[in-house]
Structure 1
Amino acid sequence: MFTSRITKPAIAAGMIGLAALLAAGTANADPADDQFLGALHQQGIGFGSPESAMKVAHHACDALGAGMEPSDISANIAGANSHIDRQTAVVIVVDAAMAYCPQFVHQMANGATVVGPNR
């Protein structure tokens, strides 16, 4: 009769191997993704999933690259999602540019309209 004995050292070795695999997966995370998702989280902006947030961000960068105005992009984002207002959509576009297409940040800053109590 054949019996299998799994020892505590074998289990520990397996757990260490699993931990190494999981760490390797997270070590390959894109810093731009982390930056964008972190900015959204810090500002209290939620999406259904990180993947959908990143998809919106990449579309925003594509639109900026095609010459679309940030205000039009934010209007499209707000129009497509009833849970996001125009101001939040502007923040999403800015966060997307800062993380994924920083070449447009300066252009956006030059064309920004300041709205506040003194204007």
Structure 2
Amino acid sequence: MFQRDPLLSYCYNIFKTMSQTQIPLQNQQANQQHNLQQQANQQNNLQQQVNQQHNLQQQANQQNNLQQQANQQNILQNQQPYSMEQHIIDGTTFNQIAAAPNQSDRDILLKSYY
């Protein structure tokens, strides 16, 4: 049919050629778009890893700050004088130690505590 009509045959050949070149171009563009999307996904994953690392570092810093606060609190507690009413030494209170008849007896009782 196309051989009888040269114009129709010419148009068919042009259409056929365009179709054969257009499909590979579309496939190439689709592949490029897919590759770009994969690169964007990889970049996003890397950014998420960086963010997670940053969050872990912040948590470590907070933990360190809490430990420093606990150390400071411990230092402050160790610097405070003992309350005579709060500590019991083998059933003998500080009040009883303080009521010992002389300093040497008090020293002996206190040294036995430590």
Q: Check whether TM > 0.5.
A: no
| Structure of greater Rg | 2
Give the number of the structure whose residues are more often helix, by fraction: 2
Q: When the two structures are superposed, what TM-score results if normalisation uses the length of structure 1? A: 0.30
Under a length normalisation based on structure 2, what TM-score does the superposition of the two structures give? Answer: 0.32
Higher RCO (C-alpha 8 Å, min separation 6): 1
